[in-house]
Structure 1
Amino acid sequence: MSKFLKGTMILMAAGLITRLLGFINRIVIARLIGEEGVGLYMMAYPTLVLVITITQLGLPVAISKAVAEADARGDQRKIKNILVVSLSVTGTLSLIFTPALILLAPQLSETLFTDQRIYYPLVAITPIIPIIAISSVIRGYFQGKQNMKPSAVSQVIEQLTRITLIAVMTKAFLPHGVEYAAAAAMVASVIGELISLCYLFTVFKVKKKFPVRRNFLEGLKAGRKTLSELMGVAIPTTGSRMIGSLSWFFEPIVVSQSLLIAGIAAGVATKQYGLLTGYALPLLTLPSFITFALATSLVPAISEANIIRNYKLVEHRLQQALRFALLTGGLSVVVLFTFAEPLMATIYGSVTGAYFIKLMAPFFIFQYYQGPLQAILQALDLARAAMINSMIGAVVKLAVIYVLATRPEFGINGAALGIAAGTVLVTILHYATALKKVQFTVYINDYFKFLLAAILSGWSGKICYELLTIEPMMLKLCIGISMTSLIYCALLFFLKLATKSDMQKIPIIGAIFK
């Protein structure tokens, strides 16, 4: 098995475990602090993401690409310079922005958001900034070496630590108010990330073949060319991520202000936003562990193939990634749309947010394509084009949210439609940009076959579920989802969208098909 597929499968396995653990966290948080507490948590989180984006400066992707190219040439000195420069840049920025966010938190919560209680979770999460700054550099190094295991294991460790702490901490602080419980959940995230960094640093010290601390200053002085090369990829990448982060930062602000214009009180708006982003969206983004694995593996794999001018391999990797994203994302869309109500009732104990899932699920097949396409554009030095695409999508998303959410007949549904509109537009633009750079075949018939498989499996699964008279509901749901998944997979094979050779490339499953 190639490094690309092996690395992708490792990240997919770890991503699946992480997602499952993350869902346990979500269930605990939702059941303990409710819709309002989740709303406070989700309104504060985009601010943190924006600051982390500025701190990282797009370096993780640039490090992965640069290390992969240097490793292909066997240039260990170059790899050391990459690490020295990257750690210096991210470390310095984190020391600037961490105290800045703490000082600005009162103004942010009072002037931009309609709910001042956001101050507490916002301050509580701030210490995570320097931790992520260092861990992102180390992850970029391992990804560039196409060694995905350390990143995968660190994700699992981070979630296990968080899940151990979150129930105890949120329950302990809940009597003081939901804002303190939301802040406690943030502190649990900080501790989890810190333990994850300790693991990554330990593995890095064992695996690296050169001393980083020795002659650190000399390496930094000699790293001007390296810095310039990294910034050549990092700045456009930062631009693209910055647009996404700014869009996410302004999203709760625009939503809360728009709902206020529509006549919805601040507390109610916080609950509604919590339902949308804390209940529905985590389910809709479930397959992101697959797209994240594909995107992370694609950057070094395509960069390496591109530098040796193996364009046939570039196209092959691209087709592999898009095919995996379509088929796995498609199953998620079918399951979520078909079983929205019982899923919400089983996981969160409420069906209130099920409507959001049904409204947005069909559009999210585009979301599952977006990660791999973004990685492909970055690996092909088209980060600037990706940035422009993201900018257009972000502007459209916020505009649609404002136009629709300010109207009482739409309300929070306008925010859901705005998120969906931005996602679809960015994915289409990414796809068109990749098609201009890489001459690859677009199999139109396969998309029609996929649509047929999705509709038939969803319809059949719904009928099977309704005919079941088994109790409890969780068992009935598991059987219904399993039957729907089997029908979907059978249709993929029948329509020749998946083959035996495809299955043989996947660990564990491949052993069954040999």
Structure 2
Amino acid sequence: MTKQNFLQGTIILIIAGMITRFLGFINRIVVARLMGEEGIGLYNMALPTLFLMYTISQIGLPIAIAKRVAEADAKNDQAKIKQILIISLSITISLSILSSVLMFLLIPYISNYLLTDERVFYPMMAIIPIIPISAVGSVIRGYFQGRQNMKPQSYAQVLEQIVRIGFVLVLVTWLVPYGVEFAASGAMIAVIIGEAVSLLFMLKMFQIKKRIKLRKNIYQYMKTGKETLQQLFSIAIPSTASRMVNSIANFLEPILVAQSLALAGFQATIATKQYGALTGYALPLLFLPTFITHSLAVALVPNISEAEAKQHSKLIHYRIHQAIRLSFASGAIATVLLTLFADAILQYMYGTNNASLFLKIMAPCFLFMYIQFPLNASLQALDLAKQAMWNNIASTVIKFIILISLATNPQIGIYGAAIAMCVGVIVGTIFHLITLFRAIRFYIPVKMIVKMIALIGLTFWMGELLIHIFSFQPSDMYSFLIILVLLLVGYLVFLFGLQFISKDELQQLRKK
């Protein structure tokens, strides 16, 4: 089986993530133009409930599988790996069935009373079949990650998006005349089909590349798997608690936004449209660089786990510094572009600039989000998931307090939710840094902080200069493309000049 080093695995995931995000944006543009803000609002109101069911059915096993498989693989213990897979699949399949039944029973109440828009019922019901599909897929992904082979899941992600776009075009176009709730349901069904194709592909790759036969002596492996179960749960349960906090927060967020805006005097349809603009237009752009930071986080877990097992503390610090540096580098350019060209980007992509103020408010704050991903992965790899959970709880409580306080004010409204999200991101990242310092004395050197400020300052200055030179107007796409190319070239010069990317890292990419 092909195994990649940290940077090679990261690059494979980044390339796949880049393609996936590009295809995902095509999908979002298609959906946005076909369904409008109201349809997107219904779609995004249904998603948090799905993510909550994901968390319940997977109980944090993907990270636990990746860590334990990496440890067993280092010892060439194939029996242990087989036991990990059998136990993990048994747990996730059972929980996914229970989650599907629970979701089926709760959807009528959630859609009618909590989300204040009964039309959410249809897209929520449509996504139930995806729960067991995703649960099995998460186990297979964790296995490949533990083997440090990032190619199968990368190919599967791209294939999933291609299939999804094709079915979105067909299903949403077909169902739009029947109402936005049915169009949103069609978009959800397209997600299910994409996930199913992705799972079938990974299962085929597993069959081709596997060194073990799962169907032999299943009962015996489960009967003697108490120790393996405890080892998985020692990581999975704290990790699940942390994910549950995020999933419950995502589940409650649209409810709190809807209820807060209702208290402020906004009608349900207006609140749905505003939430659709925030979550359907602004947040996808803000989360665009996270395909890089998520790739770094995925590759970081087995690498830090291996370094910890060998007691290489310097390597642990180096890997975390490296991940933060590269994450910030990927996010800084996005921050500048979204701040300076918010109106233009939204108009080009969605045909509206209704969410431009959201971007201008939130983009600088989301720099903290970009470095939060590798920080969280580092905590998981160092068995500090419990501390990460409390960090998430604290930042979420603070976010919700601010959200309710501001969004219930008619003069602030939906922008209170945007401000609350910013505060939650900043506080959560700071808490993670404090935890790492207390645990392993990790900190970001002053020199690196100065470089970060210099990088974003120089890029912002260059962007402003180019806007002035070209007398840029949001409607002028030709000038925007020229400015974009020049700004990216200048940004690369700043990156290498400030040594955000070193020659040693480039050499590592060539190693076999």
TM-score, length-scaled by structure 1: 0.96
**How many Å apart are 1:13 and its aligned residue?**
0.6
Equivalent position of 1:156 in the other structure: 158
The offset of 1:496, in angstroms, is: 3.8
Q: How does 1:192-231 map to 2 (within 5 A)?
A: 192-231=194-233
* Secondary structure in structure 1 of the residue aligned to 2:90: helix
CA shift for structure 1 position 330:
1.1
Quote the offset at 1:466 in angstroms.
4.4
**CA contact 1:322–1:372 (8 Å) conserved in 2:** yes
Change (3 A) 1:503 1:484: farther
**Aligned match for 1:483, one of 473, 486, 507:** 486
Q: Does 1:327 align with 2:323?
A: no
Q: Which residues in structure 2 correspond to 1:160-199 (within 5 Å)? A: 160-199=162-201
Partner of 1:103: 105
Alignment of 1:349-428 (within 5 A): 349-428=351-430
One-letter identity of the residue aligned with 1:477: F
Conserved? CA contact 2:472–2:480, under 8 Å: no
Aligned equivalent of 1:78: 80
* Matches of 1:451 and 1:506, distance apart in 2: 27
User: Which runs of structure 2 are paired with 1:30-41 in the superposition (5 Å)?
Assistant: 30-41=32-43
Q: Which amino acid aligns with 2:455?
A: A
**Aligned residue type for 2:454:** L
Contact 1:461 1:483 in 2 (8 A): no
Distance 2:331 2:66 in 1: 26
Give the corresponding residue for 2:52.
50
More divergent stretch after superposition (236-245 vs 309-318): 309-318
- The 1:2/1:48 distance shift into structure 2, 3 A limit, reads closer
Find 2:301's aligned residue among 291, 299, 313.
299
Secondary structure at the counterpart of residue 213 of structure 1 = coil
| Residue aligning to 1:283 | 285
AA in 2 matched with 1:317: R
Give the distance between the partners of 1:489 and 1:450, measured in 2 at CA.
14
Give me the whole-angstrom Cα distance separating, in 2, the residues matched to 1:482 and 1:209.
Answer: 47
SS at match of 2:366: helix
Q: Are the counterparts in 1 of residues 433 and 443 from structure 2 also a CA contact under 8 Å?
A: no
1:149 and 1:302 map into 2 onto residues whose CA distance is 20
Amino-acid identity (%): 47
Which residue does 1:443 correspond to in 2?
Answer: 445
Cα deviation, residue 405, structure 1: 0.2
Residue 315 of structure 1 corresponds to: 317
Alignment length, in residue pairs? 508
1:119 corresponds to: 121
- Across the aligned residues of Structure 1 and Structure 2, the Cα RMSD in angstroms comes to 1.7
Aligned counterpart for 2:71 among listed residues 60, 69, 72: 69
- What SS does the corresponding residue of 1:146 show, helix, strand or coil? coil
2 CA distance for matches of 1:437 and 1:295? Answer: 19
The reply to whether residue 465 of structure 1 matches residue 467 of structure 2 is yes
Runs of at least 5 residues in structure 1 that lack an aligned partner in the other structure: none
Which SS does the other structure have where 1:267 is aligned?
helix
Deviates more, 1:173-182 or 1:329-338: 329-338
Greater shift in the superposed pair: 274-283 or 210-219: 210-219
Name which of 3, 7, 10 aligns with 2:9: 7
Q: Distance in 1 between matches of 2:280 and 2:505?
A: 35
Contact 2:86 2:222 survives alignment (8 Å): yes
- CA-to-aligned-CA distance 1:190-247 (integer Å, 9 cap, x gap): 0000000000000111111111011111111111111111011000000000000000
Alpha-carbon distance in 2 for matches of 1:505, 1:408? 55
The residue type paired with residue 232 of structure 1 is S
Partner of 1:338: 340
- How many Å separate the matches in 2 of 1:38 and 1:272? 10
The amino acid of 1:182's aligned partner reads A
Quote the residue 1:495 is aligned against: 498
* Equivalent position amino acid for 2:234 in 1: G
Whole-angstrom distance in 1 between the partners of 2:487 and 2:157: 30
How many angstroms does 1:326 deviate by?
A: 1.2
Residue segments in structure 2 that go unaligned for 5+ positions in a row: none
Greater shift after overlay, 292-301 or 188-197?
Answer: 292-301
Distance 2:499 2:7 in 1: 21
Q: Give yes or no for contact 1:16–1:289 (8 Å, CA) kept in 2.
A: yes
Distance in 1 of aligned mates of 2:41 and 2:481: 29
Query: Matches of 1:223 and 1:104 in 2, distance apart?
Result: 34
SS at match of 1:172: helix
- Counterpart-to-counterpart distance in 2, 1:207 and 1:492: 38
Q: CA deviation at 1:503?
A: 4.3
| Shift, 1:292, TM fit | 0.9
1:97 Cα offset (Å): 1.2
Q: Is the 8 A contact 1:450 1:492 kept in 2?
A: no
Give deviations 1:469-503, integer Å, cap 9, x for gaps.
79973332222222222222222333344444444
Aligned partners of 1:90, 1:233: CA distance in 2, in Å?
15
Shift of 1:89: 0.3
Check if 1:26 corresponds to 2:5. Answer: no
For residues 378 and 30 of structure 2, what CA distance do their matches in structure 1 show? 36
Give the distance between the partners of 1:354 and 1:304, measured in 2 at CA: 44
Give the aligned residue type for 2:50.
Answer: L
Q: What CA distance in whole angstroms lies between the structure 1 residues aligned with 2:496 and 2:197?
A: 43
Question: Do 1:64 and 1:142's aligned partners in 2 also have CA atoms closer than 8 Å?
Answer: yes
Match among 85, 90, 93 for residue 91 of structure 1: 93
Deviations 1:81-131 (A, max 9, x none): 100000000000111111221222111101111111111110111110000
CA distance in 1, matches of 2:234, 2:387: 14
Amino acid at match of 1:483: L
Which whole-Å deviations, capped at 9, do the CAs of 1:426-457 have from their partners, x for residues lacking one? Answer: 11111111122223453213222322331232
Tell me the CA shift for residue 310 of structure 1: 1.6
CA–CA separation in structure 2 for the residues paired with 1:437 and 1:16: 34
Q: What TM-score, normalized by structure 2, do the two folds share?
A: 0.96
